[in-house]
Amino acid sequence: MEKRTLSVGELKNHLNEQIGALQRSVLLYDEGYQLEAKRISVILRVMLHSGKDPSLLKRLGLDDMDVVDSAPQFDPQDLMPFHGLVSLVIEKGEVFYNARLDNQSPDVMTPFVNWWNATVFSDKQNRQMSRKDVVLTAANQDGGAHVDGALRADYAALRYENSLGWLTGQESPPSNDPGYAAIRQIAHEILKTLIPGYSKTKEDVRTTRKRSEISGGKIRFFPHENAFFANQTAAPIVPSQMYFAEIIVDSITTGSVRMVVNSAATEPLNSAGTHSMLILAGSEPNSGVFGEYTDAIIDRVSIRQMLK
């Protein structure tokens, strides 16, 4: 089929569209939808990656530009795991990875090819990954533009096996994916490079992030946090007694929710609809609904004691 070559002006329009899409996606990520990192990876691939076809930046002759580089330089002699684009945060007893965003250090400008291929992760087994590795694996294998039957091992270990090795005092790994946080930071670097005066700090994100809430009689969970909504029952819950629990889930797109009866929790629920179950009450007076990094709206919950 015959094709028409795009003009420079048309290519610049494409670039502006991708920048706009990137800005919208990072806003969703910052609101707590961390799976948006997959879509961000696709936008970054279009803009930055030259394979069989040149990237959008290369078509515009921008692939040799200097890029904002927010990562410290990787030291191969350091025995500790390295995560140059993300920081480890402890907040309200929870440990998670954050994109570094703007920090107090002055911006360093690095030639694109060096920036794209520089090591930004090195795990406990000294497996190293670059920005290019993280972005293309997310886009090509991890659901950005394609779901592969197998992920490259170092990326999979980063996501599923806590290959950076950090643990909380309770011996639990951080609660989110460092690769997704790194993709968010790569997007930040590109936006700072291409948009004069662009800035985004962790405090900016903190003040705009949506929080789980009860609104209009419904429970709304957001996926960047664990949240528990407790309520006192009309009659005391009797420990070790069987109860009939019901929860109506209006919508759920990621994560799961649990019903809790005196600190005894049901199995995770991750689909919309009416869920009914039996549960043996625990001994601690704590009942309600628990959302585990979920994007969900709960319409109604009920707890009834089983009659003998």
Q: Are 255 and 149 found together in one domain?
A: no
Answer for the pair 212, 295: CB distance below 8 angstroms, yes or no.
no
| Lowest mean pLDDT across 93-97, 186-190, 258-262, 279-283 | 93-97
Answer for the pair 157, 177: CB distance below 8 angstroms, yes or no.
no
Q: Are 72 and 159 found together in one domain?
A: yes
Residue 117 is which amino acid?
N
- pLDDT value for 47: 97
**pLDDT at residue 134 above 90?**
yes
Among the candidates 189, 208, 227, a domain finishes at 208
Answer for the pair 138, 179: CB distance below 8 angstroms, yes or no.
yes
Q: In 10 A of CB 10, how many CB atoms? A: 11
Residue 107 is which amino acid?
D
- pLDDT value for 286: 86
The conformation of residue 283, written as its DSSP 8-state character, comes to S
Among the candidates 208, 233, 264, a domain finishes at 208
- pLDDT value for 207: 80
Q: Are 159 and 97 found together in one domain?
A: yes
- pLDDT value for 179: 96
Beta strands in 80-165 (DSSP E): 82-83, 86-91, 94-99, 108-111, 119-122, 128-130
Among the candidates 179, 208, 237, a domain finishes at 208
Q: Are 168 and 242 found together in one domain?
A: no
The whole-angstrom separation of Cα 160 and Cα 155 is 9
- pLDDT value for 307: 65
Q: Are 81 and 158 found together in one domain?
A: yes
| Domain harbouring 294, CATH code | 2.60.120
55 is a domain residue: yes
- pLDDT value for 204: 85
Q: In sequence order, what are the beta bridge partners of 278?
A: 244
- pLDDT value for 308: 57
- pLDDT value for 104: 65
Q: Are 153 and 282 found together in one domain?
A: no
Q: Are 19 and 122 found together in one domain?
A: yes
State mean pLDDT over 286-305.
90
State mean pLDDT over 2-13.
92
Q: In 10 A of CB 290, how many CB atoms? A: 20
Exposure class string for 47-76: b at 16+ Cβ within 10 A, else e: bbbeeeeebbbbbbebbeeebbbbbeeeee
2 is a domain residue: no
- pLDDT value for 174: 85
Residue 133 is which amino acid?
D
Burial of 171 (0-12, 13-18, 19+ CB in 10 A): exposed
Q: Are 77 and 186 found together in one domain?
A: yes
64 is a domain residue: yes
Instruction: Name the nearest CA neighbour of 247 among 205, 216, 223, 279.
Output: 279
Q: Are 193 and 262 found together in one domain?
A: no
The mean of the pLDDT values for the chain is 91
**pLDDT at residue 15 above 80?**
yes
Q: Are 268 and 145 found together in one domain?
A: no
Domain count, the chain: 2
User: Number of helices and strands (H, E) in the chain?
Assistant: 8, 14
252 is a domain residue: yes
Q: Are 89 and 222 found together in one domain?
A: no
Q: Are 154 and 230 found together in one domain?
A: no
State mean pLDDT over 40-55.
95
State mean pLDDT over 103-125.
91
3 is a domain residue: no
Answer for the pair 260, 247: CB distance below 8 angstroms, yes or no.
no
State mean pLDDT over 19-30.
95
**pLDDT at residue 39 above 60?**
yes
Orientation of helix 131-140 relative to helix 178-194, angle to 10°? 110
- pLDDT value for 205: 85
- Give the domain range for residue 221: 213-305
